[in-house]
């Protein structure tokens, strides 16, 4: 059944989605905010409303900076549907959802996709063992439930890793080690953009303070070039090597991995929007203009889903996207030119450090690709590096043909875990660029939908 | 096998399209020693032949297709040996259920028609026998039409195997190479491609949903519409089904793979965009046949659909394929299979190879003649 | 071992994991409740391939458990309910080709 029409539907209730929805509704547009979580905040501001008291101070000022935005949501007079999953967007911009066990189609004149980012996979040997999680996953557990692991080892690089390790330490959780995989090449590549980064002194200062906390309270090992996790039924130890020739085995039951986040492109790709290979960030992102408008003029992308830029940028891009829609639908309510120019400046300023950070924390090939033959690449289907190498021997044209040969990419996650790894393995094998190699064809439903839910699409809608 | 004398020619047979029809034709021609070039604009089994439901059935065929289907089944029963593969044909049975009174009427009429035509492979099974064979099927089903010995295959696997064997026998597959024009010169054809011009003694048009486009280049104006029949694959379940299931009077194809996942299709159409290899999958269409699947197997309500897709397929107005010689010498058409060409593939490949070699095909192909779509020639021509 | 770092809110909810009773608060996800109770193996992709929560945000699909008889539920995306029955997910089909497993 088709739900009544909205002028704007926003997908995702993180900072970008919240700002977009609030902005659109305030201008008088009929607005629907859809999110799959039970509460607003997305990943970065997860459980913010519940974490108000001082006991959660270890989460840091960046986290609590979201308080104001979340508070303005109380004045949102649009429709808000939490615990609602979007599984398809049609090319005439209808949104297929499931909610309370039923499916429905939402008619929206404009859509803002603000589904954010996911972790970039780090396929180290043993990465599928219980006890191994992404840094983001560890941080989510901390924010949501105030639960953490003792004596964990953090592996990788990037702001989220340093922040989470610092949060862990401030929360009183002993951290066994932080193993930094940033290589010397990265510093050289980043140096050219260091001056620009000085336009974001507060952000740099924060990063330095996290690193200082880490250095003072745990072992901080730099120049890590290889990592292996071992265990039978769960992780029990981690071995590493460094560029300087160090090698060691650490006993640990918990390993947290992170070397960057990437736009969550499954919905945008399944919707048929144009995407481009971003060489600096080594990921796919949707093609958008300055307002976030995608290759489908009715669909806008806001926040990290359009390109990684962080929470402050996300909120601003949500406002800009909503404003662009308002200008199309109800020009009288749109922001004046001066405000838009101001927003453009802020966008630039809040992104000034990105060229530096993106190059400094560019994921190293050693950690983008599996090293041992028995390392699982496609987690869903348990397809190993050796399985894929064998299939590559059949002169596979690309990731979609590879799927048929070895099942990599045919699982539930539709490539979220293995897509970039497989793409790079094929690119290397065929000696072609990542852009030319292409990516899996992502199909709806972008999240699994039960037969009963699908079948109910034609039925009555309880609301 | 008797050695057939090759036509004396320096030029190859050019097959356009590396789906099941093109690859099977390439196999049969290569086996007989003819030089074959296959031109494929994407890669082997990229379209309908790689992503269809994989039904290998004689059941439910249009009556004029039955002989071709029976001939194909002869090949299917020896497909492992033919193609040097393992477990190519999952052979068990196919049942088309009579779910309701409407289905029962259709089933009764069909059985009478098949009997009158002398075909005995389709038999009725009643409610008790159906429940005994498939305990999870909905209890209200009246029964169904059964064909023992039908089954399913993985379409990509089989098409790829035909390709592999053809290559081993000397066929030259050129991919990705698109055909832009066809010209008849004296006693042969010139094929314009995006990597140069190729000369051919014979052309075989197995271009699927693009078949009419290729036919037009050779002066044959044949009707074809491109659509994208949709399928879904589900989560894995412990094994409960060996038969392939359809429904009399409703659109469904339902099977369970060896790994426990279910492939559900039947032919509900999405939109095809052949120029860009794009497909559009309407959610309401997905809901339609998955709802039908739940009517048959209500216990699967909480099983998730992981992914949906559509294969780009060509449909003729009468839903029968176009198989036969074109209006100019040296071109043979084999396309327009309207979403039921996979099982026919081995027999079609053999027949197209026969036509190239000016041999009488085993099966009468009159019902599929391209000429059925062209107006009768005026008396002035004679 | 995952442990709480702050005083946990009231945990009036009781869920069952296999033969174990686990306490949880009303807005815990199943994944958080199980991890806090020391359970790391949520499923076995194959007998030698144990998995647990990895991303905690619904994108890795490794935290799949059977909840109240329904398979393939993402534990990190499901909020606990009093009396919920959670079981480890096992691969439905035996690994040996041709072998059939019992439901």
Token code pair at residue A423: 């793409």
Instruction: Point out the residue among C41, C42, C57 whose CB comes nearest to the CB of A136.
Output: C57
How far is the C-alpha of A32 from the C-alpha of A79, rounded, in Å? 5
User: Strands, E, within chain C: which ranges?
Assistant: 2-4, 13-17, 20-24, 43-46, 49-51, 64-67, 70-74, 85-90
Token code pair at residue B96: 């088309």
The yes/no answer to whether this complex scores an ipTM above 0.85 is: yes
How far is the C-alpha of B175 from the C-alpha of B194, rounded, in Å? 11
Token code pair at residue A42: 């997305």
How far is the C-alpha of A26 from the C-alpha of A29, rounded, in Å? 7
User: Strands, E, within A329-412: which ranges?
Assistant: 376-378, 383-384
> CB of C70 within 8 Å of any CB in chain B?
yes
- Closest among B299, B335, B307 to B226, alpha carbons compared: B335
B278, B307, B308, B312: best to mutate for the A interface, most A CBs within 10 A: B307
Average pLDDT over residues C41-60: 95
pLDDT computed for residue B182 by the predictor: 98
Task: Answer yes or no: are the C-beta atoms of B13 and B173 closer than 8 Å.
Answer: no
Residues of C in contact with A129 (CB under 8 A): 50
Instruction: Point out the residue among B278, B300, B308 whose CB comes nearest to the CB of A445.
Output: B308
Query: How far is C16 from chain A, CA to nearest CA, in Å?
Result: 19
Task: Answer yes or no: are the C-beta atoms of A400 and B46 closer than 8 Å.
Answer: no
Q: Please indicate whether, in this complex, the C-beta atoms of B259 and C72 are within 8 angstroms of each other.
A: no
pLDDT computed for residue C93 by the predictor: 65
Taking only the tens place, the pLDDT of each residue in B250-308 is 989 999 999 999 999 988 999 999 999 999 999 999 999 999 999 999 999 999 999 99
Token code pair at residue B130: 């159906």
Report pTM.
0.94
Q: Please indicate whether, in this complex, the C-beta atoms of A94 and B283 are within 8 angstroms of each other.
A: yes
Q: Please indicate whether, in this complex, the C-beta atoms of B43 and A397 are within 8 angstroms of each other.
A: yes
Residue C86 φ/ψ, nearest 5 degrees:
-110, 135
Asked if the model's pLDDT at residue A321 lies above 90, the reply is yes
- Closest among B37, B4, B33 to B22, alpha carbons compared: B37
**How much of chain B exceeds pLDDT 90, in percent?**
94
pLDDT computed for residue B373 by the predictor: 95
Q: Please indicate whether, in this complex, the C-beta atoms of C1 and A129 are within 8 angstroms of each other.
A: no
Query: How far is B42 from chain A, CA to nearest CA, in Å?
Result: 9
Q: Closest residue of A to B164, CA-based?
A: A394
Instruction: Point out the residue among A131, A134, A447 whose CB comes nearest to the CB of C55.
Output: A134
C92, C95, C101: best to mutate for the B interface, most B CBs within 10 A: C92
Token code pair at residue B311: 């294969």
How far is the C-alpha of A94 from the C-alpha of A299, rounded, in Å? 11
Asked if the model's pLDDT at residue A338 lies above 80, the reply is yes
Q: Please indicate whether, in this complex, the C-beta atoms of B260 and C93 are within 8 angstroms of each other.
A: yes
Taking each helix axis from N to C end, the angle separating A419-430 and A385-392, rounded to the nearest 10 degrees, works out to: 40
**Alpha carbon of B259 to those of A142, A381, B276: distances in Å?**
38, 11, 33
Average pLDDT over residues A432-451: 96
Radius of gyration of chain C (CA): 14
Task: Answer yes or no: are the C-beta atoms of B59 and B122 closer than 8 Å.
Answer: yes
How far is the C-alpha of A303 from the C-alpha of A45, rounded, in Å? 14
> CB of A393 within 8 Å of any CB in chain B?
no
Handedness of CA A149, A153, A156, A159 (dihedral sign): positive
Token code pair at residue A134: 């992404």
- Closest among A415, A433, A411, A416 to A424, alpha carbons compared: A433
Q: Please indicate whether, in this complex, the C-beta atoms of C101 and B259 are within 8 angstroms of each other.
A: no
pLDDT computed for residue B7 by the predictor: 52
User: Subunits touching A (CB < 8 Å, at least 3 pairs)?
Assistant: B, C
Token code pair at residue A319: 């406002």
> CB of B372 within 8 Å of any CB in chain A?
no
SS3 B96: strand
Asked if the model's pLDDT at residue B54 lies above 90, the reply is yes
How far is the C-alpha of A289 from the C-alpha of A220, rounded, in Å? 41
Dihedral angle, C-alpha A93, A3, B289, B249, nearest 10 °: -120
How far is the C-alpha of A166 from the C-alpha of A216, rounded, in Å? 10
């Amino acid at each position: 059944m088709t739900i009544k029409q909205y002028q704007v539907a926003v997908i995702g209730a993180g900072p970008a989605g919240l700002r977009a929805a609030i902005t659109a509704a305030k201008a008088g547009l009929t607005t629907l905010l859809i999110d799959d979580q039970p509460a607003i905040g997305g990943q970065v501001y997860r459980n913010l409303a519940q974490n108000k008291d001082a006991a959660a101070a270890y989460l840091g000022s960046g986290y609590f900076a979201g308080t104001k935005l979340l508070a303005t949501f109380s004045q949102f007079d649009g429709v808000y549907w939490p615990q609602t999953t979007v599984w398809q967007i049609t090319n005439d911009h209808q949104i297929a959802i499931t909610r309370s066990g039923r499916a429905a189609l939402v008619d929206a004149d404009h859509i803002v996709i603000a589904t954010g980012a996911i972790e970039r996979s780090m396929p180290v040997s043993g990465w599928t063992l219980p006890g191994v999680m992404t840094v983001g996953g560890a941080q989510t557990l901390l924010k949501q439930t105030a639960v953490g692991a003792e004596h964990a080892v953090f592996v990788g690089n990037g702001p989220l890793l340093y922040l989470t390790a610092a949060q862990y330490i401030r929360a009183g959780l002993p951290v066994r080690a932080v193993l930094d995989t940033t290589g010397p090449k990265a510093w050289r590549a980043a140096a050219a953009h260091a001056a620009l980064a000085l336009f974001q002194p507060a952000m740099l200062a924060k990063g330095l303070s996290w690193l200082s906390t880490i250095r003072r309270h745990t072992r901080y090992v730099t120049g890590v070039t290889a990592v292996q996790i071992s265990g039978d039924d769960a992780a029990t130890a981690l071995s590493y090597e460094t560029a300087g020739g160090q090698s060691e085995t650490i006993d640990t039951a918990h390993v947290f991995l992170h070397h960057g986040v990437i736009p969550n492109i499954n919905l945008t790709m399944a919707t048929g929007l144009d995407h481009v290979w971003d060489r600096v960030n080594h990921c796919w992102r949707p093609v958008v203009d300055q307002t976030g408008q995608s290759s489908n003029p009715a669909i806008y992308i806001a926040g990290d889903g359009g390109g990684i830029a962080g929470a402050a940028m996300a909120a601003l891009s949500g406002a800009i996207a909503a404003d662009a829609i308002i200008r199309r639908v109800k020009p009288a309510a749109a922001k004046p030119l001066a405000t838009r120019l101001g927003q453009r400046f802020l966008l630039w300023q809040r992104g000034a450090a990105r060229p530096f950070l993106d190059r400094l924390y560019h994921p190293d090939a050693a950690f983008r690709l599996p090293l041992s033959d028995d390392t699982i690449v496609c987690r869903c289907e348990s397809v190993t590096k050796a399985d894929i190498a064998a299939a590559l021997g059949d002169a596979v044209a690309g990731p979609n043909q590879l799927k048929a040969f070895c099942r990599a990419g045919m699982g539930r996650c539709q490539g979220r875990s293995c897509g970039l790894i497989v793409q790079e393995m094929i690119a290397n094998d065929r000696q072609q660029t990542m852009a030319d190699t292409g990516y899996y064809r992502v199909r709806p439903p972008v999240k699994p939908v039960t037969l009963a839910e699908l079948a109910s699409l034609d039925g009555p809608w309880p609301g | 096998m008797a050695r057939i004398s090759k036509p004396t020619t320096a030029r190859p047979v050019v097959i356009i399209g590396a789906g099941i029809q093109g690859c099977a034709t390439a196999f049969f021609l290569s086996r007989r020693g003819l030089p074959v070039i296959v031109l494929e604009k994407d890669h082997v089994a990229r379209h309908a032949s790689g992503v269809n439901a994989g039904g290998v059935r004689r059941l439910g065929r249009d009556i004029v297709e039955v002989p071709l289907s029976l001939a194909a089944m002869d090949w299917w029963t020896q497909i492992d040996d033919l193609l040097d593969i393992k477990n190519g044909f999952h052979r068990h049975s196919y049942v088309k259920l009579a779910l309701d009174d409407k289905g029962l009427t259709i089933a009764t009429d069909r059985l009478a028609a098949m009997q009158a035509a002398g075909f005995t492979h389709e038999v009725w099974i009643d409610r008790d026998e159906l429940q005994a064979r498939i305990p999870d099927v909905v209890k209200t089903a009246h029964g169904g039409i059964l064909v023992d010995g039908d089954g399913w295959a993985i379409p990509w696997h089989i098409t790829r195997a035909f390709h592999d064997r053809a290559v081993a026998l000397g066929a030259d597959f050129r991919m990705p190479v698109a055909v832009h024009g066809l010209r008849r010169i004296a006693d042969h054809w010139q094929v314009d491609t995006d990597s140069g011009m190729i000369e051919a003694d014979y052309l075989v048009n197995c271009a699927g949903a693009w078949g009419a486009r290729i036919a037009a280049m050779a002066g044959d104006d044949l009707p074809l519409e491109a659509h994208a029949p949709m399928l879904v694959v589900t989560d894995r379940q412990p094994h409960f089904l060996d038969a392939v299931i359809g429904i009399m009077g409703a659109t469904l194809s339902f099977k369970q793979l060896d790994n426990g996942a279910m492939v559900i299709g039947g032919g509900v159409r999405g939109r095809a965009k052949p120029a860009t290899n794009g497909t559009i999958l309407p959610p309401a269409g997905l809901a339609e046949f998955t709802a039908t699947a739940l009517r048959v197997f209500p216990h699967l309500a909480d099983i998730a659909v992981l992914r949906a897709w559509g294969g780009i397929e060509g449909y003729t107005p009468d839903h029968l394929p176009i198989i036969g010689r074109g209006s100019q010498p040296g071109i043979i058409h084999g396309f327009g299979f309207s979403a039921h060409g996979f099982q026919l593939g081995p027999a079609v490949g053999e027949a197209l190879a026969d036509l190239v070699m000016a041999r009488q095909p085993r099966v009468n192909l009159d019902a599929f003649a391209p000429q059925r779509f062209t107006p009768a020639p005026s008396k002035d021509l004679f | 071992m995952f442990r709480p770092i702050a005083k946990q809110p009231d945990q009036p909810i009781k869920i069952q994991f296999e033969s174990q009773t686990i306490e949880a608060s009303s807005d815990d996800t199943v994944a958080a409740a199980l991890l806090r109770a020391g359970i790391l193996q949520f499923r076995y992709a194959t007998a030698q391939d144990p998995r647990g929560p990895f991303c905690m945000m619904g994108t890795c699909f490794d935290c799949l458990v059977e909840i109240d008889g329904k398979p393939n539920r993402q534990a990190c995306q499901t909020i606990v309910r009093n009396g919920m029955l959670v079981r480890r997910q096992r691969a439905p089909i035996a690994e040996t080709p041709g072998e059939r497993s019992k439901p």
